[in-house]
Amino acid sequence: MHMADALISPAVGGTLWAVSGGLITFCARKVKQTLRENLVPMMGVLGAFIFASQMINFTIPGTGSSGHIGGGLILAILLGPHAAFLVIASVLTVQAFFFADGGLLALGCNMFNMGFFPAFVAYPLIYRIIARGQPGSLRVGVATIAASVVGLQLGAFGVVLQTLVSGISELPFHTFVLMMLPIHLAIGAVEGLATVAVVSFIARARPEALPTSPLPGTATGIRPILAGLAIAAMVIGGAASWFASTHPDGLEWSIARVTGAESVEAPESGVHQRLAGLQEQTAFLPDYGFKQAEPGIATTIPAGPEPDPWPSINAGTSVSGIVGGVLTLILATLVGMALRTRTTSVVPHNL
């Protein structure tokens, strides 16, 4: 469920970065006010534990996707929601840095999907309301599983919305929802059971490690959280509906326009035209650009609903793109290798 940078647009990534950044600041302030003595090492070691457990992927058949424990609810129960959000955020940051699991600009999305929903929605609104009594009781168990499932469903829905609004993937909304939600229903149930097991184990073996409820700093937090949720929902929902209504068929085109790219042909035009001038003077065959190939393509295109799919793209520029792209790759590799030999000669082999 880790979003990659490759799938989201800067507008979505930036917005969620701002939201998650604000949440980190808010939670950091709240955690500072908490007087629990061993909170710092507990946050660190539980983070390491969640990190480790997220490595155990159970593959979901038929999707190529993999499921793992999110851990947000476990952390919220053991540490309180504010510390839990910070821990999840730190786990995601280290994963993005060290494993490229989830991108750096997608971090905001990931923190929101996997941290905000379990810690600030599922935990206070489901777990805390239903779960009364000793850990290990049936009621607490049901509350845990319910909260885990809801938290994960919301997170998965967040992934769907963010991907769709970004418009890089072409998956239609209902297909993507049908792909994501049932899978995460199963993962949520597994995670719920794991959470019940861990929490009841700690309650038996080390009851003093569990926070005595109400945890300082947790009882006050509901109102700002709800306000935050409402704002976030408005931002996301508003943005989504706006994009959806302006251009329902080609979401990606409207996004491309909004995010600063005027249109697809814009990046090609500047150098293109200038080089075309140069070309006419230097080239052996001035009109060489595979222009003749165009009617060939046109005959292969069945008359579809979109008459001008790509005004800028013709075989000529595309082949130029391929040639130039391959050359650039070679060039980049050569420059890098030259750099490597240079630095190797400069730096003594002291390691």
Partner 1 sequence: MGATDWIEIGRMDDLARLDTPMHRLDARAKIIVTLAFIGVVMSFPPHALSALTPFLFFPLVLIYGARIPMGPIVKKILLAMPFALAVGIFNPFLDRRPVLAIGPVTITGGWMSFTSILVRFLLTAGAALALVACTGMVRLASALGQLGVPRVFVVQLLFLHRYLFVVAQEGRNVLRSVTLRSSGTRSLNLGVYGSLTGNLLLRSMDRATRVYRAMMARGFDGEIRLVHPHQVRWIDGAFIAGWLAFFALGRTWNLAGGLGHWLTGVIP
Q: Which of residues 238-257 bind partner 1 (CB under 8 A)?
A: 252, 256
Question: Which of 8, 76, 77, 84 lies at the binding interface for partner 1 (CB under 8 A)?
Answer: 8
Provide the total of helices (H) and of strands (E) in the chain, helices listed first: 13, 2
Task: Give min distance, CB of 297 to partner 1, in A.
Answer: 5
Q: Is 55 one of the binding residues for partner 1 (CB under 8 A)?
A: yes
| Residue 151 near residue 117, CB atoms below 8 Å | yes
Q: Contacting partner 1 (CB under 8 A), which of 15, 77, 80, 90? A: 90
Cα radius of gyration (the chain) = 26
Q: Which stretch binds partner 1 (CB under 8 A): 1-9, 130-138, 215-223, 230-238?
A: 1-9
Which of 125, 222, 240, 293 is in the footprint of partner 1 by CB under 8 A? Answer: 293
The least CB distance from residue 19 to partner 1, in Å, is 15
CB of 116 to partner 1, least distance (A): 15
129 contributes a contact to partner 1 by CB under 8 A = no
Segment (H or E) for 183? helix 173-205
How far is the C-alpha of 53 from the C-alpha of 138, rounded, in Å?
25
Q: Which residues contact 2 (CB under 8 A, 6 or more apart)?
A: 92, 95, 101, 102, 106, 110
Q: Which is nearer to partner 1, 170 or 214 (CB)?
A: 170
- Kindly tell me which of 128 and 163 has the beta carbon lying closer to partner 1: 163
- Per CB under 8 A, does 35 bind partner 1? no
How many CB atoms are closer than 10 A to CB 57? 11
Phi and psi torsions of 249, nearest 5°: -85, -40
Part in contact with partner 1 (CB under 8 A); list of ranges 116-124, 212-220, 230-238, 285-293: 285-293
Choices 133-141, 204-212, 215-223, 241-249 (CB under 8 A): range interacting with partner 1: 204-212
CB 6 within 8 A of CB 162: no
Which of 177, 226, 244, 315 touches partner 1 by CB under 8 A? 315
Q: Which one of 124-132, 197-205, 211-219, 230-238 is the stretch in contact with partner 1 (CB under 8 A)?
A: 197-205
**Options 8-16, 122-130, 149-157, 229-237: segment touching partner 1 (CB under 8 A):** 8-16
Cβ atoms of residues 118 and 151 within 8 Å: yes
Length of the chain measured in residues: 351
* 260-279 footprint of partner 1 as x/- string (CB under 8 A): xx-xx--xx-xxx--xx-xx
Can you tell me the distance from the alpha carbon of 153 to that of 113, in angstroms, rounded to the nearest whole number? 9
CB 194 within 8 A of CB 75: no
Per the listing, tokens 């391929």 go with 322
Measured CA to CA, the distance from residue 182 to residue 202 in angstroms comes to 30
